[in-house]
Amino acid sequence: MIRVTIRLLTAIALIVICGIAVAQGWGIVRFFLASTNIVSAEKRARTADAWRATSGIISTALNDELADESNQSDIIAAYRQRELLWAILAIKPLSSGDWLTLSKAELMTQ
């Protein structure tokens, strides 16, 4: 009797854990589907702003904005790129490529 109860509780716990994982993954899939249908930079920025509050995909949204900013060569874009890189590094501080890009942006804005 106790074995059956333990197995039942274990099965319920595993189902709940898997359900939480699927729910988190579904948010990422929805973000991917929303971002693939966007062609203009303005729409991409609005979509990124809408998805910023979603956990786990903030840095992806910021990287999309960063890609838009890197196509411009003016000083205002360089300052904006630097701000975006600081925001990305606040989320992922161990990203060496972003640190290198930030140092290049710092050099451009001095």
Both 58 and 92 in one domain: the answer is yes
Summarised one tens digit per residue, pLDDT across range 31-49 is 777 666 666 666 666 666 6
Both 77 and 104 in one domain: the answer is yes
**Can you list the pairs that 55-62 forms with residues at least 24 positions away whose Cβ atoms lie under 8 Å?**
55/24, 55/27, 56/24, 56/27, 56/28, 57/27, 57/28, 57/31, 58/91, 59/88, 59/91, 59/92, 60/31, 61/31, 62/87, 62/88, 62/91
Q: Domain limits at 1?
A: 1-37
Both 26 and 6 in one domain: the answer is yes
Both 104 and 51 in one domain: the answer is yes
Summarised one tens digit per residue, pLDDT across range 51-93 is 666 655 666 667 767 776 555 567 777 788 888 888 878 877 8
16 has pLDDT over 90? yes
pTM for this prediction: 0.47
Both 32 and 48 in one domain: the answer is no
| Low-confidence winner among 27-31, 88-92, 100-104 (lowest mean pLDDT) | 27-31
Task: Domain count for the chain, please give it.
Answer: 2
Both 6 and 46 in one domain: the answer is no
